[in-house]
Amino acid sequence: MKKIMLIGICLLAINCKGVSQEKEIKDKTASGSETAENTYPITKTEAEWRAELTDMQFYILRKAGTENAGSSELLNIKKPGTYVCAGCKTPLFSSEHKFDSGTGWPSFDRAIEGNVAYDVDYKIGYERTEEHCAVCGGHLGHVFNDGPGETTGKRHCINGAALQFVPVE
């Protein structure tokens, strides 16, 4: 009897479905509209992306990687300009909304409306809001609710390798 109960418990445990690594099927743009996963205006093969991006840009944008804190050349830029997607050049963030979060990654209190899409990310075991380019789907970073209270309260924590800075001329 004990063997049967033990086998039953083991079968139940094996059949339990974990959801910590599952990803939502729908993405939401900043305006709240939903689009099916992987349906972006700019789509390329992995080989095409590899040919156009540096190794680090490919790792961040196409493989949802994270650069080391403090390693981005964009971290301390204070000039006026626009931060664009390194993959497709879509304007994503304005320098007027950049702030020093002390985290080691470029941080902004808001994105350019409609150019950043959001998804749910469980990669480290709990829910986070992932950000990616709404035009090419490139991974940018995550958004948190610990930004400047006097503005939006949001902290868009972005990998510098996912961006290129275009200064105001």
pLDDT tens for each residue of 37-46: 568 999 999 9
Handedness of CA 57, 61, 65, 67 (dihedral sign): positive
34-68 confidence digits (pLDDT tens)? 444 568 999 999 999 999 999 999 999 999 999 99
pLDDT at 36: 42
**How many structural domains is the chain composed of?**
1
In a domain, 4, yes or no: no
In a domain, 6, yes or no: no
Distance from C-alpha of 40 to C-alpha of 5, rounded to nearest angstrom: 51
Q: Could you give the residue numbers annotated as active site?
A: 157
75-109 confidence digits (pLDDT tens)? 999 999 999 999 999 999 999 999 999 999 999 99
In a domain, 11, yes or no: no
DSSP state of 112: P
In a domain, 9, yes or no: no
> How far is Cα of residue 46 from the mean position of the Cα atoms in its chain?
18
Written as one letter, the residue type at 37 is: E
Residue 162 sits in a domain whose CATH number is 2.170.150.20
DSSP state of 31: T
Distance from C-alpha of 129 to C-alpha of 131, rounded to nearest angstrom: 7
* Of 130, 160, 169, 149, residue with least CA distance to 67: 160
Domain encompassing residue 33: 22-167
Instruction: Tell me the CA distances in angstroms from 52 to 3, 62, 68, 81, one per residue in order.
Output: 59, 12, 22, 23
In a domain, 132, yes or no: yes
Distance from C-alpha of 21 to C-alpha of 120, rounded to nearest angstrom: 10
